Amino acid sequence: MITKSKIIDVLLYASLLIFIVFAVFILCINQDVLYTAHERSEFLIGAHFFYDLMAKPFGLFQYIGGWLSQFLYNPVVGSCMLLGIWGLIYIVGGKAFKLKGSATAVMLLPIAFLLTSLVDLGYWIYDFTVRGYWFSQSVAYLVMLLLLWVARCTPRRWHLVWYVIGLGLYPFFGWFAMLFVICLILTEKPTWSEIIGIVLLVFTAIIWRALLYSDVKMEEVVMAGLPRFVTPSDQNDILSIPFWLVGVVSILIVLAGKYLANKFVPVVCAIAGIIFTISFMYRDNNYTAEMRMMRSAEADKWGEVLDIFTESQKPTISMVMLKNLALMNEGGILDRSFKMGNDINGIYNPDSVHVSFLEIASPVTYYNYGMFNEGFRLNFECGEQTGFSPIYLKMLSRCAFANGELEVVDRFVKLLHGHPYYRDWQPAPVAENVKELHNSYKDELTGVENSDSYVINSISCWYDSDSKVASEQALFFSMLRCDSRRFWASLKHYINLHQGEEFPVHAQEAYIMYYDKSPEEKKMRLPVSQDIYDNYNKFWATLESLIKSGMSQKEIPDKMRDEFGGTYWYYNIFAKKIAR
């Protein structure tokens, strides 16, 4: 005979097991996101960083969160730490809210919200400024629950003291201090002491701002610690929903605790948590592919960069730029780049946060094109805005190292050595082609050229360099820009510097096309493969026949992609360009 209590237990443990498996699965498929999280999380050694954070409410938990975020370098370790904290939240939450049996499963909901908050960021991961984000909310919630547990173990008459303690902890706990006091107030029927607690609650932020945070904006003191997603150009309130729900559910648990002793509560909570996380989670193949490509590019593993790119169907600008960098290092950019594809696709970005190649891949790109001053500037500006996280410290060190500024390198390396996974980190030697490109770069004064097209326009100016690498890049980028004037200048220089070498396939394709487009210019006469010439004629014949057949402009590129998608002509006529 299966007893009723056994059914309850089975439902509870089955629900828990299913949720745990789900949480582990979600963390597993977000390993690249977690690695990127460590790279974009600022935690600096020295008292200065600590005091900077402590000068704002909730700074202590941001500091703790920042420290723990370092362990996301190894996403498995970081995931285990998160799961451990959430496990403790489950146990301590049960005690704090005095939940028993099936009712304890309701703690799966705040855990689901905290899990969701890690995987719903999308491209905000590159641009948000909340320090210690990845752990601070979970840790602070856990400590708040511990406090609530202890408070509820004390006699009722002590509650007033706990209100004062709770609100006194506002500088450390931020909004969790308020949540603690609300939860404690709601545990019993209101008395005069509860009313005092409520009054204190209303004025908490004002009091603390007046006492400690007069140099901080009021909006940053009110509900301090509740993550806000704001940049100079964007604001997203949806991403704050999981945290609001943590608060709301905690309050509801206190209010409705006695109604939760139902055998179906675990099932409902597990399913609700899973549905919520799946609904809010950001998932996009390019999003993670960009992260993997960046990681490989940073480690100069260019073969891996190409492999990841090959898997992609509709690459983004960051992926295309990293792929071309990889081809520069692996060789064959003028034979392979257009075959692999230079057609740009927008990022899947439902939040419309202004994130582009600049934030995602330009730190590595500028360095590898030998643009060390630009690289240094861009990395520093990104660091200034979002924090000096490992990715910026590494790239700043590499740019300074390449520039021969060893004292600067020393400063950033010292900061990196405070990170548990970067204790022995040193900037990699500067690759020969990177040095060669840098030396091709004439000094000039530029404006605030923080645009996606800047790197492309700059490199296409190198057509008079004596470097073979630079001449190849100049020719390639003139083709990428579809700039016939620079193409001819670059080609002439390229041919002079690459005497006796094979004329690369894409350069031949571009040569035929530009020659054909403006024969009167009679720029140069170069031998071209008969196959390429025939294919070029076939390209135009096919295009003409498709137009005559009445096919729409949108359908024609799709129809021609299989046969001609890897040619320069297809790119020139149909592809969405990086920039001109």
Partner 1 sequence: MKTYLHIYMNALAVVLLLMTSCVAHPDVPSTSKDSSDLPAIFPDYCDVTIPYNIAPLNFMLPEGEYDACVARFTTPDGVQQTYGSGVKVMIPETEWRAMMGESKDKSIRVEVWGKKSGEWYAFRPFEIHVASDPIDEYVSYRLIDPTYVAWSRMEIAQRNVTNFEESKIFNNEITSNDRKIGQCINCHSYQNYKTDNMLFHVRLSNASTIIVNDGEISRVNLKRDYTISSGVYPSWHPTEKIIAFSTDLTRQAFHTSNPNKIEVYDLESDMIMYDIETDSVYIVSNDPELLEIYPTWSHDGKYLYYCKSVPLPEEMRDQDIRTTYQKVQYNLYRRSFESATRSFGEEELVYDAASKDKSVTLPRVSPDGKYIMFAQGQYGCFHIRHSDGDIVCLPIGDKLPLDATEEGEASPFIDLSKFNSEGFADSYPSWSSNGRWIMCSSRRGDGIFSRLFYSYFKDGKVEKAFMLPQEDPELNTFRLRCYNRPEFMVEPVTISVAEFSKVFPK
- The token pair at 374 is 């630009």
- For residue 13, the Cα-to-chain-centroid distance in whole angstroms is 35
Rg, the chain, Cα only: 29
- Residue 446 or 553 with smaller CB distance to partner 1: 446
User: In this structure, are residues 33 and 288 in contact, taking their beta carbons and an 8 Å threshold?
Assistant: yes
Q: Which is nearer to partner 1, 240 or 345 (CB)?
A: 240
Which residue ranges make up the site for partner 1 (CB under 8 A)? 44-49, 51, 54-55, 171, 210-217, 230-233, 371-374, 376-377, 380-385, 388, 400, 403, 405, 407-408, 410-411, 414-415, 438, 441-450, 458
CB of 210 to partner 1, least distance (A): 7
Please state the closest distance from residue 191 (CB atom) to partner 1, in A.
32
32 versus 464: smaller Cβ distance to partner 1 = 464
Nearer of residues 75 and 387 to partner 1, judged by Cβ:
387
Handedness of CA 383, 386, 388, 391 (dihedral sign): negative
Smallest separation (angstroms) from partner 1 to the CB of 441 = 5
- Least distance (Å) between residue 460 CB and partner 1: 14
Pick between residue 410 and residue 555 the one whose CB is nearest to partner 1.
Answer: 410
Name the β-bridge partners of 230.
235
Minimum CB–partner distance for residue 577 and partner 1 (Å): 24
State the Cα torsion 281-378-372-420 to the nearest 10°.
-50
**SS3 call for 104:** helix
Smallest separation (angstroms) from partner 1 to the CB of 33:
25
Q: Which two tokens stand for residue 384?
A: 């200034």
Q: In the complex, what is the shortest distance from the CB of residue 206 to partner 1, in angstroms, rounded to a whole number?
A: 12
Q: Residue 418 Cβ, how far from partner 1 at the closest point, in Å?
A: 9
Alpha helices in 192-240 (DSSP H): 192-211, 218-221
Closest distance between partner 1 and the C-beta of residue 48, in Å? 5
3-state SS track over 207-239? HHHHHCCCCCCHHHHCCCCCCCEECCCCEECHH
With contact defined as beta carbons under 8 Å apart, do 557 and 576 qualify? no
Torsion of CA 43, 46, 49, 52, to 10 degrees: 160
CB of 218 to partner 1, least distance (A): 9
Do the beta carbons of residue 145 and residue 308 sit within 8 Å? Answer: no
Q: Which is nearer to partner 1, 165 or 271 (CB)?
A: 165
Tokens of 269: 């909570």
Token digits of residue 208: 């603390």
N-term to C-term CA, the chain = 76
What is the distance between the alpha carbons of residues 479 and 253, in angstroms, rounded to a whole number?
63
In the complex with partner 1, the residue whose CB is nearer, 449 or 544, is 449
Structure-token pair, residue 554: 């949108």
> Which one, 345 or 373, has the nearer CB to partner 1?
373
CB 224 within 8 Å of CB 210: no
For residue 199, the minimal CB distance to partner 1 (Å) is 22
Strand partners, 229: 236
DSSP 303-369: HHHHHHHHH-SS-BHHHHHHHHHHHHHHS-HHHHHHHH----B----TT-----HHHHTHHHHHHHT
Nearer to partner 1, 217 or 314 (CB): 217
Contacts of 549 (CB under 8 A, 6+ apart): none
Q: Which is nearer to partner 1, 235 or 310 (CB)?
A: 235
Which residue number, 164 or 271, has a Cβ lying nearer to partner 1? 164
